[in-house]
Amino acid sequence: MKWSKLATSLCLITMCVLPIQTVSAESGGSPVESNHEKRNLSLSKKEVPASAPRFVYDSGYSFNYPDAIRGVYVTGHSAGGERFSKLTDLIDSTDLNAMVIDIKDDHGYVTYEPDASSPYAEVGQPYIKDPKSLLNTMEEKQIYPIARIVVFKDTVLANKKPELSYKDGGKVWKNGRGESFVNPFLKEVWDYNVGIAIEAAKMGFQEIQFDYVRFPEGFEKRDKELEYSTGDYTDKGKDNVQKRVQAVTDFVEYAHEQLEPYGVKVSVDIFGYTATLPEAPGIGQNFSKISEHVDVISSMIYPSHWTPYFGISKPDLEPYELVTEYAKLENKKLAELKNPPISRPWLQDFTASWLGSGNYKVYGKAEIEAQIKALNDQGINEFLLWDAGNSYTEGVDYTP
């Protein structure tokens, strides 16, 4: 935040915190509206507006939403290290214009050090040593800042509070990669993550992107074996699949409502295959229901992550064809919604050599441009590029 606007911002913080605390989880997360008195005067009746003007928090930063978001993923280490300048140079020299930066990472750590008084101080890491300087640079260069928050995959919180996770034989359950998840049925878990999102909004991020908004993969195979609470979703009249779908959808709706006073957009990452199904039964993701409660939907449609689909036997070898067929399907699903969100898929800027010889190809300029062109040809103009190491291909035309 700029020091010249500190006094104003502190005032705004004070004014906007109280309404947030009046939200009732039991009532579906709807803010409690204040009552406006109407007073009869002796000669005339005072006219009172139907509702008070909405108050929106001002972080002190000014960012313009680009013609279309064309962004890259950035880890906390990259954002706070030497690679950040290389990434800003890449954006300066191309048609890229946005960064998705880890604020809560895949382990559950917050990637900067909050104030000692913050409830997140214990999970803070000094990856981004100076968030203010980071956002100042992004404002100066007009790089649209998106905060990525990994929600229900959270090994740190699961180990700290096992009652918020799943237990197997009395111990916190881990998947095959040694990762633990927290429980989407529990409102305490919702509020924990929404609180981090609010901190990111106050910092100046213009959008909050929630990732891992789901139950663990394959949960339908262990939902009756693991020990966990179903919280307010303990309804014997509804099957387990619908309970999971409802909990995930409700979290997204709740988070969007809580973030509304901060003037940020809300986006959610979702498995691409979810759009091909009525709903993903194990993980609780329903593409249409989630899309109804977000400003942006970001399907992860990396060609390497598909099994034979859309009649394409080896999707990684045919990036244009795979993305084209997916985009056609997604367009149909979104067209069914009254207020569809922006579509901004995740694309592949990495080589999936683990698929084995004959099943993958080296991804470079041609393959990345093919994915982008496939989206553009179907009327989708926004995208994000993923590379876990943040080493993005040079010489790409991002508006082919």
Rounded Cα distance, 143 and 100, in Å: 10
What average pLDDT does the chain have? 89
DSSP string of 318-343, one letter each residue: -HHHHHHHHHHHHHHHHHTSSSPPEE
pLDDT reading at 31 higher than 50: no
Does an H or E element contain 203, and which? helix 187-203
pLDDT-based confidence at 53, cuts 50/70/90?
low
pLDDT-based confidence at 238, cuts 50/70/90?
confident
Q: What is the mean pLDDT of residues 269-293?
A: 96
Q: Are 124 and 49 in contact (CB under 8 A)?
A: no
Rounded Cα distance, 110 and 179, in Å: 17
Classify 198 in phi/psi space as left (phi over 0), alpha (psi -120 to 50) or beta.
alpha
For 351-361, give one letter per residue: b (16+ CB within 10 A) or e: bbeebeeeebb
Query: Residue 299 phi/psi, 5° resolution?
Result: -80, 135
Which residue is associated with the tokens 């084209």? 324
Question: Is this model's pTM higher than 0.75 or not?
Answer: yes
Rounded Cα distance, 154 and 180, in Å: 6
Residue 9: Cβ within 10 Å count = 17
**For residue range 98-156, what is the model confidence (pLDDT) as tens digits?**
999 999 999 999 999 999 999 999 999 999 999 999 999 999 999 999 999 999 999 99
pLDDT reading at 170 higher than 80: yes
**For residue range 331-381, what is the model confidence (pLDDT) as tens digits?**
999 999 999 999 999 999 999 999 999 999 999 999 999 999 999 999 999
Residue 363: Cβ within 10 Å count = 23
Please report the pLDDT score of residue 18 as a whole number.
33
Please report the pLDDT score of residue 332 as a whole number.
98
Q: What is the DSSP letter of 171?
A: E
DSSP string of 249-269, one letter each residue: HHHHHHHHHHHGGGT-EEEEE
| Residue 78 vs residue 13, higher pLDDT | 78
Q: What percentage of the chain has pLDDT greater than the value 70? A: 86
Rounded Cα distance, 61 and 88, in Å: 18
pLDDT-based confidence at 235, cuts 50/70/90?
confident
Please report the pLDDT score of residue 322 as a whole number.
98
Contacts of 378 (CB under 8 A, 6+ apart): 324, 327, 328, 331
Please report the pLDDT score of residue 54 as a whole number.
63
> How many angstroms from the chain centroid is the CA of residue 66?
19
Distances (CA, A) of 191 to 129, 160, 205, 255, 274: 25, 16, 19, 8, 26
Please report the pLDDT score of residue 32 as a whole number.
33
The token pair that represents 7 in the structure block: 């006094």
| Residue 119 vs residue 34, higher pLDDT | 119
| Residue 235 vs residue 22, higher pLDDT | 235
pLDDT-based confidence at 231, cuts 50/70/90?
very high
Lowest mean pLDDT among 56-70, 85-99, 313-327: 56-70
Rounded Cα distance, 186 and 247, in Å: 9
DSSP string of 51-83, one letter each residue: SPPPP----S------SS-EEEEE-HHHHTSTH
Alpha-carbon radius of gyration of the chain: 22
Q: By C-alpha distance, which of 299, 298, 297, 329 is closest to 312?
A: 329
Parallel, antiparallel, or unpaired: how do β-strands 144-150 and 207-211 relate?
Answer: parallel
Q: What is the DSSP letter of 46?
A: P
Rounded Cα distance, 127 and 111, in Å: 5
pLDDT reading at 214 higher than 70: yes
Please report the pLDDT score of residue 184 as a whole number.
98
Q: By C-alpha distance, which of 168, 316, 166, 140 is closest to 228?
A: 166
Please report the pLDDT score of residue 237 as a whole number.
77
Rounded Cα distance, 132 and 111, in Å: 13
pLDDT reading at 295 higher than 60: yes
Does an H or E element contain 149, and which? strand 144-150
Please report the pLDDT score of residue 16 as a whole number.
38
Please report the pLDDT score of residue 33 as a whole number.
34
